Structure 1
Amino acid sequence: MPDWLVEEGIGETRAILLDGDTVIAAKCRWHGELHAGQHVSAKLATKRGTRGTGLLEDGREILLDKLPGDASEGSTIACVIIRAAMTERGRYKLPAARPVEAMQNPAPDVFSSAKVVHRFPAGSWEEIWEAASSGQIEFDGGSILLCVTPAMTLIDIDGDLPPRELALRAVPAIAAALRQFDLGGSIGIDFPTLEAKADRKAIDTALDEALDDWPHERTAMNGFGFVQLIARLEGPSLLHRFATSRTGMVARMAIRRAERVEGAGTTLLTIHPALKAKLKPEWIAELERRTGRWVRIETDPGLAIERAAAQIVAHD
């Protein structure tokens, strides 16, 4: 049976669902963020019917819904976060929460139930991270391209095969990407245009089979090859994080690479200059504590921002 594993990193906590050597699903949480399933107490600041806003003890604001009729402004409500904050182009969406008593059948929190490991198997997180960074997955005969927009995550299919065959071959890659990138919300898939109704039905059937255990709703393929999926949205997907805070994702991976190198001496971490301000002092201090080595940071403008390099060098 596949097992969820958790790696408690510096600046983020990562989770993967591993089946042998294959990563079936992946998630990450950045430290300090409110996350789905988290219990908080909020002072009800505003109320309009069953909706309102609340203030946490640290001053952060959250959105509230399914408020009871007798809830009054100024009262304190025990809540559960149902969606983390989302940064989108030109706007910021506050975390969303509901009163504890309004929660029914909450989704299990894999970060709490998974086995915590010192390190994931070599290459497992890196493979998913690289794919999410590029927004592209290759399959036999073509590729899928993924793009985050404020309205939805879009998946395009590219290749030179006949349209029906290309669409069918793309379905397993799409099903894998949905889980591996922790996608949710509204997702649009632009398949090649299939004029024959039987061909469109074949793709619908293939999607039903591939997504049988992935909770969602979807439309049937229309005449232009478009399918829309709707799934539970609990927070930023890996794709969304790369789209809205690429330097944040890259900085955390740079720290991870520095933590994984082994040997005696000093850890030399070489990064693009744009990353230097993203490496928080507390991250560096924690890195030194965990590894028992001093850390030296050097910048190289010729280095791609995603290609931070870590090595062990002799003490100065």
Structure 2
Amino acid sequence: MAEWLYEEGIGEARAALVQNGRILEAQIERDDKRARAGSVVGGRLVQTLIVRKRGIARLDSGERVLIEPIPPKVAEGGAVRVEILREAIGEAGLEETRDKLAKGRIALPGVQAGQGPSLLQRLRESDLPIVPCPAHEADHLEAAGWSELLAEAMTGEVGAEDAALRIFPTPAMTLIDIDGSLPPAQLGPKGAKLAAQAIRRLGITGSIGIDLPTMNNKDERLVAAAQIDKYLAQPFERTAVNGYGFVQIIRKRERPSLIELLRGDPVRAASMAALRAAERHHGAGAVTLTVAPAVARDLKAHPDWAKLLERRRGGTVEIIGDDALAIGGHHVH
């Protein structure tokens, strides 16, 4: 039976749906104070982009949210209550990563203000078993392939020589290219299966395009499409596989995928990985954490993380920046 492994880490919470020792789905929730999907929070309409259609609200927290539509009675500068439909997402641009604003709408009258469900609350709603994974116990997440999963998210490379995926997030959609040594009639279904599993495992949502190999006939394309339906959990919509092997999938978009989360801020991803390693290092006591200089600056800019690590370990924590280490590398001793 599938079960959720849940880890309340420092700076982020982590969860993986595991069955037969393999990760089927994974989620990370950062403790960054941004409004979660499902939240209803106060703010002001600070800019009208298209009259009655689109504008930007600044929440009381300072976060900016894209609002669609704008009710006729809401004027620029007026107080509003905003329902968050999609969280902010790191978006790869031509020059640098930037944030795609959270998306919301003006809440209906009478809707109560409050935060959207946390990762743990969402797991509880799944009615599947939840297994807590504290740092003083065996690393069940790692045993299920957590590091490999994060590597897939960072590189966008999944699979082996016979069938492999390359995943490219773009502002318009996530593109998945399938290549391999198998003949097209075999590569199409296997690639479709790998893509469906990766979409679920990495939490890829929104518009997704899969470029399968060109298959000779309709029956082969139907077999490939059936693999998507079998291995990608509902709800989603998809097109048929066309004669060029392309299929488009639409999944409801509320949160960033693991790819967007990790690539959107590689320094923060490295900070989280280093803290996780330090928390689990030999159980308890003082620890020295050596990381790349940019990661050291990030960790030192958030002293509450180190204080929590010290409380959990029962010893002091020293953070050292080392120019010889690349972002993502760390030493714990």
* CA positional deviation for 1:140: 7.8
Q: CA deviation at 1:189?
A: 1.0
Q: Match of 1:121? A: 140
Q: SS state of the match for residue 165, structure 1?
A: helix
Q: Compute the displacement of 1:109 (Å).
A: 5.9
Q: Spell out the pairing of 1:108-257 with structure 2 (5 A cutoff).
A: 110-114=119-123, 115=130, 117-119=132-134, 121-123=140-142, 124=144, 125-139=146-160, 141-211=162-232, 213-257=233-277
Pairing 1:34–2:35 present = yes
The residue type equivalent to 2:293 in the other structure is P
1:3 corresponding residue in structure 2: 3
Please list the CA deviations of residues 132-170 of structure 1 after superposition, one character each: whole Å capped at 9, or x if unmatched.
123222258222111222222111112111012012112
Q: Which runs of 5+ in 2 are unaligned?
A: 124-129
Residue type of the partner of 1:121?
A: H
2:14 aligns to what? 14
Residue 103 of structure 2, aligned match among 78, 93, 96: 96
**In the alignment, what sits opposite 1:314?**
none
The amino acid across from 2:278 in the alignment is A
Distance 1:160 1:266, change over 3 A: same
CA distance in 1, matches of 2:324, 2:47: 51
State whether structure 2 residue 331 is matched by structure 1 residue 309.
yes
1:252-291 → structure 2 map (5 Å cutoff): 252-279=272-299, 280-291=302-313
Q: Does 1:86 align with 2:85?
A: no
| Alpha-carbon distance between aligned partners in 2 of 1:5 and 1:122, rounded to the nearest angstrom | 7
Q: Tell me if structure 2 keeps the 8 A contact 1:77–1:99.
A: yes
4+ residue runs over 6 A deviation: none
Q: Partner letter of residue 117 of structure 1? A: P
**Matched residues in 2 for 1:180 and 1:45: separation?**
38
Per the alignment, do residues 71 and 5 of structure 1 end up closer, same or farther by CA in structure 2, a change over 3 Å counting? farther
Letter in 1 for 2:186: E
SS at match of 2:320: strand
Q: Distance in 1 between matches of 2:280 and 2:255?
A: 28
- TM-score normalized with structure 2 length: 0.82
Q: Percent identity?
A: 36
- SS of match in other structure, 1:278: helix
Q: 1:221 to 1:28 in 2, by over 3 A?
A: same
User: How do 1:45-60 residues align onto structure 2 when only pairs under 5 Å count?
Assistant: 45-46=46-47, 48-60=51-63
Gaps of 5+ in 1: 312-316
1:150/1:46 Cα in 2 relative to 1: closer, same or farther (>3 Å)? Answer: closer
Q: Assess, with a 3 A threshold, how the Cα gap between structure 1 residues 142 and 267 changes in structure 2: closer, same or farther.
A: same
Report the 3-state secondary structure (helix = DSSP H, G, I; strand = E; otherwise coil) of the residue aligned with 2:256. Answer: coil
Query: Secondary structure of 1:101's partner?
Result: coil
Say if 1:78 and 1:100, in contact at 8 Å, map to a contact too: yes
Instruction: Return the offset for 1:253.
Output: 0.6
Work out the CA distance in 2 between the residues paired with 1:156 and 1:226: 10
